[in-house]
Amino acid sequence: MAVLGTESTARQATVLVIDHAPACRDALRSLLQERGYNAIAAGSGEEGLDLAVRAQPDLVLLELALPGIDGLETCRRLKANPATSTIPVIFVSSRAGTDDIVAGFEAGASDYVTKPARVAELCARLRAQLQSKRSAWALECAAMADPLTLIPNRRQFDRFLEKEWQRALRSGAPLSLLMLDVDHFKLYNDTLGHAAGDACLQQVAGVLQRHAARATDLAARYGGEEFVLLFGETPAEAAARLAEAVRADVESLHISNPRSPTSNWVTVSIGVASVLPSRHASLCGLLLAADRRLYEAKRAGRNRVVA
Ligand code: GH3
Ligand code: MG
Ligand code: MG
Ligand code: MG
């Protein structure tokens, strides 16, 4: 379950140096290493683009004058590729003309430093870019997570579902969706208080998260006491089995719901729908089918799966 990828503020940042001149490359590399960065280097734009995709550096220091594809084009391609588009680029260039500097920013660079670079200034600019990338990352994470349960929120789920749908259209693999709703949760809140209700939702979310084990799965809080679980590359029968395991695991939490007419414990009802994405099927249809079956599970007595 990784939609946003991984990012760590604590680990050593990796900086990719792209420069044709071995002397410049080596000087920048050792300067970075002395300051605790993990420095990697490439001698051409082509090599740099390839290394950026593979190594996913936190920042790129790029010379504008390069043989083959030049620095501007390298920068444009870094920015155009979704795999590298968020990596900040600082030009460190022997070209100091205003036109070059403007062109550098227009190509997508975050900053422009001319050679010979003052070491302290270059390092300060580099730290500033790394810091702003971390802030952007933290904001994006906050916008995608549910603050109570810390699992993905509906926004992240919608994006993930769209991506998985497109992938399944290409691969021809089935997609399955579980829609869950906590049974008699209003009663739970009314009996034990809203804080206990919050803690209960956190525990239920934990169960879902454990079941979303593969990269093609995602558990999310859909709203209130409703959750969704998407299983990529999963046919209907397997999804029904998974749903039953989720239902049983929630019941096995043994969270007392004293006044529930359904069970002594907090339970969930689950609707399951599966689809082979095609031009004739729709995402909306999948959500509606799961929701309809959830409603059937409620009507049939709750604490059950309808697949
Ligand atoms: P049913 O079995 O039909 O689903 O009954 P229910 O009581 O669960 O359904 P209803 O939709 O009437 O109640 C949902 C309750 O969930 C009401 C609402 O206060 C509570 N709820 C929604 N979000 C939160 C939350 O973040 N924290 C807490 N503690 N309660 C919440
Ligand atoms: Mg509900
Ligand atoms: Mg309800
Ligand atoms: Mg409910």
Q: How many other CB atoms are there within 10 angstroms of residue 200's CB atom? A: 22
pLDDT tens digits for range 132-143:
999 998 898 889
Rg (CA), the chain: 25
Token pair in block for residue 298: 């409620």
Task: Supply the residues annotated as catalytic.
Answer: 225
Which run of H or E residues covers position 183? none
What's at 125, amino acid-wise? R
Given a cut of 50, is residue 201 above it in pLDDT?
A: yes
- Write the residue with the smallest CA distance to atom 6 of ligand 1: 184
- Report the residue among 184, 185, 255 best suited for mutation to probe ligand 1: largest number of ligand atoms under 8 A from its CB: 185
Q: Is 130 exposed, middle or buried (0-12, 13-18, 19+ CB in 10 A)?
A: middle
For the chain, the distance separating the N- and C-terminal CA atoms, rounded to the nearest angstrom, is: 24
Token pair in block for residue 185: 């949760």
pLDDT confidence of 2, banded at 50, 70, 90? Answer: very low
Contact 93, 64 (CB under 8 A): yes
Distance between CA atoms of 303 and 161, rounded to whole angstroms? 26
The pTM score is 0.76
For residues 281 and 177, the model is more confident at 177
Token pair in block for residue 149: 């349960």
What's at 89, amino acid-wise? V
Given a cut of 90, is residue 5 above it in pLDDT?
A: no
Give me the pLDDT at residue 190, please: 96
The percent of residues in the chain predicted with pLDDT above 70, rounded, is 96
Q: Give the ligand whose atoms come closest to the C-alpha of residue 200.
A: 1
Burial code (b: 16+ CB inside 10 Å, e: under 16) for 49-80 equals bebbeeebbbbbbbbbebeebbbbebbbbbbe
Residue 247's closest CA among 174, 173, 297, 295?
Answer: 297
Q: How many other CB atoms are there within 10 angstroms of residue 156's CB atom? A: 21
Contact 176, 239 (CB under 8 A): yes
Residues with CB under 6 A from ligand 1: 148, 181-187, 189, 194, 197-198, 201, 224-225, 298, 302
Give me the pLDDT at residue 141, please: 85
The mean pLDDT of 101-110, rounded to a whole number, is 98
Distance between CA atoms of 135 and 127, rounded to whole angstroms? 12
Distance between CA atoms of 113 and 165, rounded to whole angstroms? 44
Ligand 1 atom closest to Cα of 181? 4
- Write the residue with the smallest CA distance to atom 24 of ligand 1: 224
Give me the pLDDT at residue 11, please: 67
Strands of the 111-114 sheet, one edge to the other = 38-42, 14-18, 59-62, 89-93, 111-114
Given a cut of 80, is residue 179 above it in pLDDT?
A: yes
Contact 15, 41 (CB under 8 A): no
Give me the pLDDT at residue 247, please: 98
Helices (H), the chain: 22-34, 45-55, 71-80, 98-106, 119-144, 154-171, 185-192, 194-211, 236-251, 283-299
Kindly give the distance from the C-alpha atom of residue 185 to the centroid of ligand 2, in angstroms, as a whole number: 8
Distance between CA atoms of 175 and 253, rounded to whole angstroms? 28
DSSP helix/strand/coil, 228: strand
What's at 151, amino acid-wise? I
Given a cut of 80, is residue 151 above it in pLDDT?
A: yes
Distance between CA atoms of 153 and 253, rounded to whole angstroms? 23
pLDDT confidence of 1, banded at 50, 70, 90? Answer: very low
* ipTM (interface predicted TM): 0.97
Token pair in block for residue 24: 């410049």
pLDDT confidence of 280, banded at 50, 70, 90? Answer: confident
Given a cut of 80, is residue 185 above it in pLDDT?
A: yes
- Report the residue among 179, 184, 188, 189 best suited for mutation to probe ligand 1: largest number of ligand atoms under 8 A from its CB: 189
The mean pLDDT of 108-116, rounded to a whole number, is 96
pLDDT tens digits for range 6-56:
444 446 899 999 999 999 999 999 999 999 999 999 999 999 999 999 999
Give me the pLDDT at residue 279, please: 83
Give me the pLDDT at residue 4, please: 43
The mean pLDDT of 284-288, rounded to a whole number, is 95
